[in-house]
Amino acid sequence: MIVRTAPTDLSSNLAIDSKGMSELRQSARAGSPEALKTAATQFESMFVNMMMKSMRDATPQDGMMDSQQTKMFTTMLDQQTSQSIAKKGMGLADVLVRQLSKTLPPQDGVPTDPAMARALMEQAKLQRSIEASGGASAMAAASNAGKPAHVRAFQDKLAGDAEEASRTSGIPAKFMLGQAALESGWGRREIKGRDGTNSHNLFGIKAGPDWKGRVVETATTEYVNGKPQTRVEKFRAYDSYADSFKDYARLLSSNPRYEKALAAAGSTDAAGFARHLQKAGYATDPNYATKLAGIIQRTLA
């Protein structure tokens, strides 16, 4: 017999607390109406708290009355206010309950219901947008402190372009940065033409017959029946790294074969995202999914 426990009350936590968000998802997956309602209400409370924190961060706080003690009490007041608003309801919790009740995600974390997948993608977009409005840069700087120099340099160089593409596509920026790192060897093996011209192609996207832009030709390794072979192929060329991120996001969003990968991205499932990319034929390397998931989960976490 499976004993279902009520989800822990997380509404007093910071809305961007990843541990809290993980507990909410697990509570929702419990499947009972009570668990779904509780998880949805707590998410609504965390969402309101996130908005209030972003507004506080965007307001100058260097006045005579702005001490550490007043900031602490303000934070506590905001948390209490967000809980009160969520209990009365903004409508977000009801929407989440309806979506989660239709089709719960299967064991690999990828929703099969298209409406559920879209809801998760919109949730991810919304959360990243709010985080970007205040406090996100300080958190990113703190998380980068213990990373190798080449990882920090790669992120510092491309994080802005990845975030921009993330806001329009819903694919987490670190998922795209991880794949760009894998494809380009952290920027050390960028695709260049025979004359040394940089293609700015970070994702190894080839130039098929439908591509009307510039191209570069270079040698690449492809796996045929599990064995590596060197070939000369045509690759897309861009004017900037930002264009590379945009084209990558557009490719995944417009091609039905990447539908499951996008759904996994919307639920922030790095392993599922990498696995479904490989199954869809993005790369021929038999270890591609393992390598990509490892970079995202261990290096860019």
Separation between Cα atoms, residue 140 and residue 142, nearest integer Å: 5
Angle among Cα 57, 176, 286 to the nearest 5 degrees reads: 150
Separation between Cα atoms, residue 265 and residue 253, nearest integer Å: 11
Give catalytic status of residue 285 as yes or no: no
Tokens at 216, concatenated: 């570069």
Give catalytic status of residue 210 as yes or no: no
131, 163, 183, 247: the active-site residue: 247
> Residues 180, 203: contact at Cβ < 8 Å?
yes
Distances in Å between the Cα of 40 and the Cα atoms of 9, 85, 105, 125, 156 are: 11, 13, 15, 18, 35
34, 57, 66, 222: the active-site residue: 222
Which amino acid is present at 300? L
DSSP 4: P
Catalytic residues, by residue number, are 222, 247
